[in-house]
Amino acid sequence: MVTQEQTVETQAPLVKPRSFDRPIQWGIFIITALLVIFPAWPILFQSVMDKPLYDPTRSFTVSNFTRVLSNGEFWGVLLGTLIYAVCTTFLAVIIGAALAILLTRTDMPGRKWLSIFIVVPFYVSPLVLAFAWITVFGPQGYFTNLIRNLGLPIWDLYSLAGITIVTATYYMPYAYLYCTSTLALADPQLEAAARIGGAGPLKALWSVTVPLMRPALVFSTLLVLVSTIELLSIPLVLGTPTNINVLATYVYTNGIVGVRTDYGGIAVISMLTVLLVTGLVALQSKLVAQERRFVTVGGKAARPRLLKLGGLRWVMSGLVVLYIFIAIVLPLLGILAQAFTSILSPFINPLTVVTLDNFDLILSTPAYSQSIINSVLIAVIGAAVGVLFMALVALTVYRSDLPGRKILSYLALYPRAFPGIIVGIGFLWAFLLIPGIGGIRNTIWVLALAFIMRHLPLGFTSISPAVLSISPELDRAARVSGATWLGVARSIMLPLLRPALLSAYVLLMITFLKEYAVALFLFAPGSQVIGTTLIELWRQGNGGPISALATIQLLITLLIVVLSRKVLGVKVYEG
Amino acid sequence: MKKKYLSALLPVLLLSALLVACGDSPTATTAPTTAAATTAAATTAKATGAATTTAAAAATTAASGAATTAAAASSGDYNKIIEDSKKETNGLLIYSIMDEKNWSPVIKGFNAKYPWVKLQTLNLGSYEVFERYYSESASNARTGDMIITSSPDAWQDFIAKGELNVYKSIEDEKVPDWTKLAQGVYTVSTDPLVITWNKPLVKEPPKTMADLAALVQKNPSAFQGKITTYDAEKNATGFAAFWFWIKKNGENGWKQLETIGQTKVAARTSGGPMVDANLSGENTIGFFVSLITVLPKFPQAEPVLGWTTIGDGTPIITRGMGITKKAASPNSAKLLMDYILSADGQIAFADGGLTAYRADVADKAKLHLSQVEKQIGKDNLLPFTFDPDLRDQAKKDAFVARWKKTFGR
User: What is the per-residue pLDDT across B130-156, written as a single tens digit (0 to 9) for each?
Assistant: 988 988 888 778 899 999 999 898 899
Give the DSSP letter string of A290-342. Answer: SGGGG--BSS---PPPPBP-TTHHHHHHHHHHHHIIIIIIHHHHHHHHHHTBS
Q: Count how many Cα atoms sit within 13 Å of the Cα of residue B43 in the half-sphere of its side chain.
A: 19
- Give the pLDDT of residue A89: 95
Query: Which tens digits make up the pLDDT trace of A342-391?
Result: 888 888 888 888 889 899 989 998 889 999 999 999 999 999 999 999 99
Between the CA atoms of A274, A280, A282 and A288, what dihedral angle is there, to the nearest 10 degrees?
Answer: -140
Cis (ω within 30 of 0) for the bond into B299? yes
Over range A516-538, report the average pLDDT: 85
Residue B246 confidence (pLDDT):
96
Q: Is B392 helix (H, G, I), strand (E, B) or coil?
A: coil
pLDDT at A330 over 70: yes
- Listed by number, the residues of chain A in 238-267 with a beta carbon closer than 8 Å to a beta carbon of chain B are 240-243, 249, 252-253, 256-261
For residue A489, the model assigns a pLDDT of 84
Does the pLDDT of residue B23 top 60, yes or no? no
Convert the pLDDT of each residue in A84-109 to its tens digit. Answer: 999 999 999 999 999 988 888 788 88
Q: Which residues of B touch A407 (CB under 8 A)?
A: 7, 10-11
> Are B7 and A407 in contact (CB < 8 Å)?
yes
Measuring CA to CA, which residue among A499, A477, A500, A498 is closest to residue A487?
A477
When pLDDT is averaged across residues A459-485 and rounded to a whole number, the result is: 83
**Cβ–Cβ pairs < 8 A, chains A and B:** 227
Burial of A73 (0-12, 13-18, 19+ CB in 10 A): exposed
Mean pLDDT of A258-263: 64
Best residue of B24, B44, B135 to probe chain A, by most A CBs closer than 10 Å: B135
Residue type, B343: A
Q: Give the model's confidence band at A260: pLDDT under 50 very low, under 70 low, under 90 confident, else very high.
A: low
Looking at residue A43, its pLDDT comes to: 80
Q: Does A66 touch chain B (CB under 8 A)?
A: no
So what's the pLDDT on residue B37? 39
Q: What's the CA angle centered on A158, arms A130 and B194, to 5 degrees?
A: 85
Chain B contact for A286, CB < 8 A? yes
When CB atoms are compared, the residue of B18, B124, B269 closest to A1 is B18
Q: Residue B303 is nearest to which of A53, A59, A348, comparing CB atoms? A: A348
How long a stretch of residues is chain A? Answer: 575
Residue A301 has pLDDT above 70, yes or no: no
Mean pLDDT (whole number) for B84-91: 91
* Pairing outcome for strands B227-230 and B285-290: parallel
Give the pTM: 0.81
Q: Are the beta carbons of B125 and A59 separated by less than 8 Å?
A: no
pLDDT single digits (tens) B384-406: 999 999 888 889 889 999 999 99
Query: What is the C-alpha separation between A412 and A390, in angstroms, rounded?
Result: 9
Q: Tell me the per-residue pLDDT of A210-245, one tens digit each, with 9 for 90 and over.
A: 887 888 888 889 889 888 988 888 998 898 888 888
Q: Chain A partners of B2 at a C-beta cutoff of 8 Å?
A: none
pLDDT at B370 over 90: yes
CB contact under 8 A, A1 and B142: no
Query: Does the structure show a pLDDT above 70 at B129?
Result: yes
Instruction: Please tell me the least confidently modeled range out of A16-20, B175-179, B263-267.
Output: A16-20
> Does A13 score more than 60 pLDDT?
no
In this prediction, residue A187 carries a pLDDT of 67
Contact yes or no for A541 and B400 at CB 8 A: no
In chain B, what percentage of residues exceed pLDDT 90?
Answer: 62
Phi, psi of B227 (to 5 degrees): -115, 140
Nearest by CB to A353, from B280, B281, B300: name it: B300
Dump the DSSP string for B282-318: SSSEEEEEEHHHHGGGTTTTTTTEEEE--TT-EEEEE
Average of per-residue pLDDT across A438-448: 78
Q: Do B33 and A59 touch (CB under 8 A)?
A: yes
The span from the first CA to the last CA of chain B, in angstroms, equals 45
Helices and strands per DSSP (H, E), number in chain B: 15, 11
pLDDT over 90 (residue B368): yes
Q: Which amino acid is at A541?
A: G
Please give the helix or strand (H or E) that residue B257 lies within, else none: helix B236-261
pLDDT at A131: 87
Contact A391, A501 (CB under 8 A): yes
Q: Is the pLDDT of residue B109 over 60?
A: yes
What's the pLDDT band for B19 if we cut at 50, 70, 90? very low
| DSSP bridge partners of B323 | B146, B165
A483 CA to centre of own chain = 35
Distance from the first to the final alpha carbon of chain A: 43
pLDDT of A476 reads 81
pLDDT at residue A468, rounded to an integer: 82
Using pLDDT thresholds of 50, 70 and 90, give the confidence band for residue B254: very high
Q: How many CB atoms lie within 10 A of CB A375?
A: 27
Beta-carbon contacts of B233 under 8 Å, excluding residues fewer than 6 positions away, are: A253, A258, A259, B239, B267, B400, B403, B404, B409
Q: Å from A43 to nearest chain B CA?
A: 9
Percent above pLDDT 90 for chain A:
17
Q: How many CB atoms lie within 10 A of CB A290?
A: 8
| Residue A181 near residue A216, CB atoms below 8 Å | yes
Element (H, E) at B320: strand B314-324
Mutate to test the interface with B, among A257, A280, A414, A538 (most CBs of B within 10 A): A257
Per-residue pLDDT tens over the stretch A472-484: 888 788 888 888 8
Q: What's the pLDDT at A222? A: 85
- Tell me the CA distances in angstroms from A439 to A273, A377, A436, A442, B81, one per residue in order: 33, 19, 7, 7, 29
Question: CB-based burial of residue A347 (10 Å sphere; 0-12 exposed, 13-18 middle, 19+ buried)?
Answer: middle
Does residue A71 sit at the B interface (CB-CB below 8 Å)?
Answer: no
- Tens of pLDDT along A533-566? 988 888 777 788 889 999 999 999 888 888 877 7
Please state, for a pLDDT cut of 70, what percent of chain B lies above it. Answer: 82
| pLDDT on residue A297 | 56
Task: For chain A, give percent helix, strand, coil, nearest 5.
Answer: 75, 0, 25
Q: What DSSP string runs through A189-236?
A: HHHHHHHHTT--HHHHIIIIIHHHTHHHHHHHHHHHHHHHHH--HHHH
pLDDT at A303: 57
pLDDT band at A435 (very low <50, low <70, confident <90, very high): low
% of chain A residues with pLDDT over 70? 88
**Per-chain mean pLDDT for chain B:** 83
| Residue A465 pLDDT level (bands cut at 50, 70, 90) | confident
User: What residues form DSSP beta bridges with B356?
Assistant: B368
Identify the band that residue A439 occupies on the pLDDT scale cut at 50, 70 and 90.
low
- Model confidence at A113, pLDDT cuts 50, 70, 90, reads confident
Q: Which residues of A495-516 are buried (b: 16+ CB within 10 A; e: fewer)?
A: ebbebbbbbbbbbbbbbbbbbb
Buried b (16+ CB within 10 A) or exposed e, B247-275: eebeeebeebbebbbbbbbbbbbbbbbbb
The shortest C-alpha distance from B343 to chain A (Å) reads 25
d(CA A343, CA A336): 12
Given a contact cutoff of 8 angstroms between Cβ atoms, the answer to whether B92 and B336 are in contact is yes
Residue B313, pLDDT above cutoff 80? yes
Least confident of A259-273, A461-475, B52-66: B52-66
